[in-house]
Structure 1
Amino acid sequence: MLLFSSNRTKSPSCCQRRNRRAMAEKSKPPKQLTLDLDGKEEKPKPKKSTSSYKVVLSDTPSPLKKPNTSRKKPTVTTRSMTVKIPADLRPVPKPVAKESLGKKRPTPRTADQPNPHVVQTRTRKRPATQTAKPKKQQVVPPKIGKRTSYRQPLSRRLLLPLVIALLVVAALLILYAHGEKPTLLVPPVPGGEKRDVVAVTIESGMTARTVSLLLEQLGVVEDAQALLAYLVEKELATVIQTGTYVMERNLQYSEVASLLTNTEQTMDVTIPPGFTLSDIDGYLVNRLEIDEGGFLDAVNNLASAYRLSFTEGWFLSGSYTIHRNRAAEELALAMYQEMLRALQGLLDSPLLERYSIEELLIVASMIQAETQDITQMEGISSVIHNRLAHDEPLGIDATTRYELGDWENPIPTEALETKSPYNTRRKVGLPPSGICCPGVDALRSAFFPKDTPYFYYLHGYDKAIHYAETYEEHKENITQYR
């Protein structure tokens, strides 16, 4: 190690002292540098400031340095190494028992042999002879509607129909609350003779050409152009009468012209309440000298055209204006149309919830045949409806008289004991048809009866009607008033 040092002079000059002071202010304090030739770097120790500079160069560590006590990180290597153990340090092998000397050592297990101590998870290989794979069974899914997961519960399936039913009932209640009247529906003809007739309505403003085309469409004539030519030739195209006509099919042009252009003088006829259709036919024969049965034929034609289930009871009594040459057809049509007008004002009856219009027409005809006194009609109607409500025979003799066709002579006992459709003493309910032509008062009494507790009535010799609730009271009235 070489050591270089410098000492102060004993008496420096003034300039030298000034220069040295300036250099000391500019320069930093001296440091000691140690160069380790072994490659180790030591941190220099801080020293107090001194005016001398010392450089130490050595090839051995300075005795003043402290050893580096920091622990180095261990390193791991993957290289293989061989350790040789001396013979004197090797472990002594254990002596083998004599019994095991005669046994064979187990052969080492190869890689192909399975380990018995390990659970085998691999499946066995299939034999070489089995080449084709077994076919899997095809699973057919059930239909959509049959799957359990797709079927809704019963309560949910019934919810929609229940809601629809409630809405329909609510709509019907609203319609009934607003007073909407039921329409007049005529039931079809159940059977009997069917006539090839049609009802034709000629309205105001229709020309001869329009009428001819309508008649061709309904089958009354075959050629509308030929009918129009006939009406123009006969100068009848401008005198066609408005109204409703019941015509047969395939008529001659002259017959059609006679029906549509009737210019003869009209006449008034009056049909009293209680007349039957046979009575009206006889009345027209005596007064107008028409063929017997003409009115009945006109009534049957009208029933076929309008599909009525019966004729007696559908024609309203009253006064009508008709033409002489068409008296039967016009009267039948006028009486039927007047009945429809009268029924329009009776459709608000509460009895229509239980009975049909035709059933109430039959009741009206029975009331009309039982009495001509308007004041007695509501009481008789109440007795009829009370018996119908309790399923009791009506016991009205007028129905048997209608069946016999005799309104004057006493009813034979045999007829009263025979079970016939019109014998209301033996039959429960209404007869199959009306028994006469009712009037307006009888119609109203049938649709709006009086509210009474009576089940019996009789006409006494005092020309009054007597009611009774029980049969004993009725017998007392028979004894007293007959």
Structure 2
Amino acid sequence: MNENNDTNNKQEKPPKAKGSANSSRLTLDIVDDGKNVKTPVRRVKPTVSVSKMQVTIPESGVKTKKIEERQPEKQEQKPAKETPAPTVKKPALPATRKKPAPKTKQAPASPTKKPVRKAPPKKKVVPPTIGKRKGYTPTVAYRLRFPIFLVAFLVCLFALFFAFHKGVGLLGSYSKPGKPLFAKDDRVEVTIEAGMSARSVSVLLKDLGIVDDPEGLLSYFVEQNLATTIRTGIFMMEKGMSFAAIGERLTLRTGELTIVVNPANTLATIDSFLDARGYARRGEFLKAAERLQNEHSLSFAEGWLLSGEYVVPQESAASSLAMAMFSAMLESTRAHLGSDKVAQWGLEQVLIIASMIQAETQNQSEMPFIASVIYNRLEAGEPLGIDATTRYELNDWKNPIPLEALETQTPYNTRRKVGLPPSGICCPSKAAVEAALSPLKTPYFYYLHGLDKQLHLATTYEGHKENIKAYR
């Protein structure tokens, strides 16, 4: 009886299985004739020294996690607590290795908090282009850019076309203005070295083409007692000079300069020459001419200075030359102050005409005829049509005059303006001044210089066109 009871007690409380993860009793449901009989299962001691077992631990509200535990090599058997054993329908199979599932972060659920709506993405604001904005008013230059470009393009085409066609004015084309100072074809640079005798100087001048008779020049040096006073240095001399001019040039006192201003040279040309030769600084001669204009209450300076040859001190070459040229003009006009043309037009207007005559021709025999044509057109109220005045305004005496300059209304454009320009346009010679003071009386209104280098006059425009066909 006691043994049976002990046996029954032992059967009711089986020993705790080794390696239990949740320390609970393991039982097996064995089917016997359709009845479930709970029979304790005795675990066999594992023979493997190290093993892994996969245990699933359920948690409330959390997904099942798989945990791998490493069992020790040996474990002591402890009496199992009296807890209900879980029901196992099938015998446990040996655990297979499985890769642990990647851990994912899951925010705790908040049932009371409302979901937050995401704000829609902001659209990028693109401003409208200039000219299409509301209330935008384009500038005048912006609106006229295409017409301005078209006009500039047409002007360039006209300029290129007329650049190769030399126009003929009402009075015909001008002749070349005065020769530049010390032009290469007329002026020669002469170097007199120390120890050269008067005979060797005469021979040198003969070789350079300045004189044709070296023996005659030597005789002049001896007769004038200049043979021993010839200076050394560099001298600018002209071909065909007289013996007296050569003697004066080579025997000047120290500190003096001889400057030759050719007819039709402008004040700007003279100023550039003095600067190039080192006689004065650039602009000094122009300032000297301006002082003369202010001191004598002149309307202009260009045209009041007479061309010619002048000897001036080297220390004050610019101011001395300007004063010498002005004094020479006053001296040349003094005898003609009572003439009819001065009484009718005034001295300054006559000097403007003289400068225009000088710019139109270098031939003294042609000057009275050109003066006659100018006065005839002035008295008839017709434009003079002398392109030399426009060239003076452009400061260009070589290239063809642009069509735009001839069509533009300016004070110096005598094609578009009736009357004289506001000032002279060059330094006239004595011959040009005399032609302006005493012109010939002719019926001519037109003239031109032909290819034969002769002056051709006409009374009417039809006759002028015939001269153009015949001589151009």
TM superposition score category, shorter chain reference? 0.3 to 0.5
TM-score by length of 2: 0.46
The structure with more radius of gyration: 1
TM-score by length of 1: 0.45
Which protein has the bigger strand share? 2
